[in-house]
């Protein structure tokens, strides 16, 4: 007797039933990390090999409503272990995706299921968090958009992942010297090919006087983007996912450090038949990050100023009586760091350089595995004073919680998850430690994070 198709089906059904409905989360989608090829450079150049999620560059956009669940199973088909961090989400610590801290890195061939709720509306992103210095530079990132319950009054939306790729022009391939000592000790790994959403010369149609929401995400390893508008006028509506209580006129320019985001509403003011741009200024030159070809009019005039985006509920932090912490950042080229401790051993600068370590937090080479900067109890109010005694800017990112930047007059500034601090400047931030877990605090210039600028905060 031959085994008919029907028998096979019966056999499978019986097998499945005996598993008594394993806890396979409904709605889980695979997110495959794999090697791919893309036409990043203009067509006369070779294709570029990249590491990406879901076979596309950038990875698939994940879009949910505020309060909805995100379920993704990372399937690692890369030649290297990886993990996914959901940057800016006030997340359950076990889902934060920090290899070596909140989970073991997912080995090649293995999988890891992420399952969390997105409590806040806003513009977020996800990226690899194992050997980020290499994996983010190779392309392991995508946008994570959490929509407000009430959609704002805009005509169109553009999700823009800004990046600068470091490409070997002879081969068209990503420069594989990820641990270059010069990058680690200076400004980090800066690229030589700027592209938005991995698209060279990104162009979209637009109409005059329409209002667009730009969701701008700086996915670069180290570059601080100086952004300007041309043929557009707008307001900054949110930083790092969190709405400003009052929209701010865009002004002349906007600085966005690595890991930071901004939601900007722009009105197209360029004439029909003309062009409008979001520009990044590099060496005094404006490079288009997105070009709008303006065809026709959406209306006869601009509409009025926008109303603020729907707020995300945060407990108000009190500076009065807050626990004060300090973080002194030292080191790097021209930083004058004489010595620091590494693994509990005092080392002079030459010895540190031998270990590829250049930056110190409070006199120690900061690493995730070292004791935390602070052990906090849940609900504690924290006032963290950061002093950048180095010659370089740093983009300090706190996982798991947003913080206020404290302004010079002591008032609370906008909520952020990443703050940009220029050389020889200080920044104070304040937050309520309301999310239990082990939270990384590091420079998002990924070469810096890998050579001393990483610590963590533990919330009981
Ligand atoms: Cu966006 Cu620790 O990272
Ligand atoms: Cu840095």
Could you list the beta-strand ranges (E) of 109-210: 111-117, 122-128, 141-147, 156-165, 167-168, 173-174, 193-196, 203-208
Whole-number Å distance, alpha carbon 85 to ligand 1 midpoint, is 7
Q: Flag whether pLDDT at 5 surpasses 90.
A: no
> What's the average model confidence in pLDDT over 307-320?
93
Q: Say if ligand 1 is within 6 A of residue 127 CB.
A: yes
Ligand nearest to the Cα of 261, by number: 1
Whole-number Å distance, alpha carbon 357 to ligand 1 midpoint, is 19
Q: Say if ligand 1 is within 6 A of residue 402 CB.
A: no
Question: Which residues, other chains included, contact 273 with Cβ-Cβ below 8 Å and sequence gap of 6+?
Answer: 294, 295
Q: Residues whose CB is under 5 A from ligand 2 (ion)? A: 394, 443, 445, 448
| Strand-by-strand arrangement of the 29-38 sheet | 48-53, 29-38, 69-76, 111-117
Q: Flag whether pLDDT at 23 surpasses 80.
A: no
> Do β-strands 323-331 and 380-388 pair in parallel, antiparallel, or remain unpaired?
parallel
Specify the pLDDT at position 137.
98
Q: Say if ligand 1 is within 6 A of residue 184 CB.
A: no
Q: Say if ligand 1 is within 6 A of residue 400 CB.
A: no
Tens of pLDDT, residues 186-206:
999 999 999 999 999 999 999
Q: How far is CA 16 from the centre of its chain?
A: 40
Q: Say if ligand 1 is within 6 A of residue 87 CB.
A: yes
Q: Say if ligand 1 is within 6 A of residue 85 CB.
A: yes
**CB-based contact 149:310 (threshold 8 Å):** yes
Specify the pLDDT at position 8.
28
In which band, very low, low, confident or very high, does the pLDDT at 27 lie, cut at 50, 70 and 90? low
CA 178 to CA 176: how far, in whole Å?
Answer: 5
> What's the average model confidence in pLDDT over 280-293?
96
Using only C-alpha atoms, what is the Rg of the chain?
Answer: 23
- Mean pLDDT for the chain overall: 93
Whole-number Å distance, alpha carbon 444 to ligand 1 midpoint, is 6
| Ligand 1 atom closest to residue 418's alpha carbon, by position in its atom list | 1
> Which residue has its alpha carbon closest to ligand 1 atom 1?
87
| Ligand 1 atom closest to residue 442's alpha carbon, by position in its atom list | 2
Helix or strand holding residue 108 (H, E): none
Query: What percent of the chain clears pLDDT 70, i.e. is strictly above it?
Result: 94
Q: Flag whether pLDDT at 370 surpasses 80.
A: yes
Q: Hey, what's the torsion of the CAs at 314, 320, 326, 329, to 10 degrees?
A: 60
Q: How far is CA 187 from the centre of its chain?
A: 18
Hunting for tokens 């990050």 — which residue is that? 289
Q: Say if ligand 1 is within 6 A of residue 259 CB.
A: yes
| pTM of structure | 0.94
| Ligand 1 atom closest to residue 259's alpha carbon, by position in its atom list | 1
CA 396 to CA 420: how far, in whole Å?
Answer: 6
Whole-number Å distance, alpha carbon 443 to ligand 2 midpoint, is 5
Q: Say if ligand 1 is within 6 A of residue 448 CB.
A: no
Whole-number Å distance, alpha carbon 218 to ligand 2 midpoint, is 15
> Which residue has its alpha carbon closest to ligand 1 atom 3?
87
> What's the average model confidence in pLDDT over 429-450?
98
In which band, very low, low, confident or very high, does the pLDDT at 107 lie, cut at 50, 70 and 90? very high
Helix or strand holding residue 134 (H, E): helix 132-135
Q: Flag whether pLDDT at 229 surpasses 80.
A: yes
DSSP state of 184: H
φ, ψ (nearest 5 deg) of residue 359: -125, 145
Q: Say if ligand 1 is within 6 A of residue 261 CB.
A: no
Helix or strand holding residue 417 (H, E): none
| Ligand 1 atom closest to residue 449's alpha carbon, by position in its atom list | 2
CA 315 to CA 373: how far, in whole Å?
Answer: 23
Q: Which two tokens stand for residue 293?
A: 């070809």
Hunting for tokens 């007797």 — which residue is that? 1
Whole-number Å distance, alpha carbon 421 to ligand 2 midpoint, is 9
Closest CA to 162 of 257, 252, 84, 240: 257
**In terms of pLDDT, which residue wins out, 141 or 13?**
141
CA 183 to CA 356: how far, in whole Å?
Answer: 11
Could you list the beta-strand ranges (E) of 254-373: 254-256, 261-268, 275-282, 285-297, 323-331, 339-342, 345-348, 359-361
φ, ψ (nearest 5 deg) of residue 6: -65, -40
φ, ψ (nearest 5 deg) of residue 375: -105, 115
| H helices, E strands: number in the chain | 5, 34
Whole-number Å distance, alpha carbon 90 to ligand 1 midpoint, is 13
């Amino acid at each position: 007797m031959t085994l008919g198709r029907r028998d096979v089906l019966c056999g499978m059904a019986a097998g499945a039933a005996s598993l008594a409905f394993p806890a396979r989360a409904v709605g889980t989608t695979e997110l495959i990390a794999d090697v791919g090829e893309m036409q990043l450079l203009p067509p006369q150049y070779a294709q570029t090999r990249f590491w990406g999620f879901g076979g596309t560059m950038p990875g698939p956009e994940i879009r949910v409503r505020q309060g909805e669940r995100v379920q993704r199973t990372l399937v690692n088909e890369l030649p290297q272990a990886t993990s996914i961090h959901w940057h800016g989400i006030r997340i359950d610590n076990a889902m934060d995706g920090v290899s070596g801290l909140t989970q073991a890195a997912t080995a090649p061939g293995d999988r890891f299921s992420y399952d969390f709720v997105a409590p806040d509306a806003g513009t977020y992103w996800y990226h690899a968090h194992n050997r980020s210095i290499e994996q983010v530079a190779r392309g392991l990132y995508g946008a994570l958009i959490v929509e407000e319950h009430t959609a704002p009054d805009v005509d169109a939306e553009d999700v823009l992942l800004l990046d600068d790729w470091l490409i070997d022009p002879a081969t068209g391939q990503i420069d594989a010297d990820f641990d270059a000592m010069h990058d680690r000790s200076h400004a980090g790994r800066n690229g030589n090919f700027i592209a938005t959403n991995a698209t060279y010369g990104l162009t979209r149609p637009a109409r005059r006087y329409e209002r667009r929401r730009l969701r701008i995400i700086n996915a670069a390893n180290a570059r601080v983007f100086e952004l300007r508008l041309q043929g557009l006028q707008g307001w900054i509506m949110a930083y790092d996912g969190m709405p400003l209580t009052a929209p701010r006129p865009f002004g002349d320019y906007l600085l966005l450090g690595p890991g930071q985001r901004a939601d900007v509403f722009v009105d197209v003011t360029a004439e029909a038949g003309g062009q409008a741009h979001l520009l990044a200024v590099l060496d005094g030159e404006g490079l288009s990050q997105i070009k709008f070809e303006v065809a026709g009019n959406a209306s006869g005039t601009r509409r009025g100023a926008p109303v603020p985006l729907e707020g995300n509920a945060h407990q108000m932090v009190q500076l009065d009586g807050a626990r004060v912490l300090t973080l002194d950042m030292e080191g790097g080229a021209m930083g004058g760091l004489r010595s620091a401790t590494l693994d509990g051993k005092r080392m002079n600068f030459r010895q540190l350089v031998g270990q590829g370590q250049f930056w110190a937090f409070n006199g120690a080479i900061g690493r995730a595995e070292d004791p935390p900067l602070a052990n906090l109890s849940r609900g504690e109010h924290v006032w963290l004073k950061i002093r950048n005694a180095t010659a370089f800017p740093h983009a300090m990112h706190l996982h798991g919680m947003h913080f206020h930047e404290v302004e010079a007059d002591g008032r609370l500034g906008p909520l952020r998850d990443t703050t940009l601090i220029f050389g020889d400047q200080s920044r104070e931030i304040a937050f309520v430690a309301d999310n239990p877990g082990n939270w990384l605090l590091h420079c998002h210039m990924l070469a810096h994070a890998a050579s001393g600028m990483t610590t963590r905060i533990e919330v009981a």
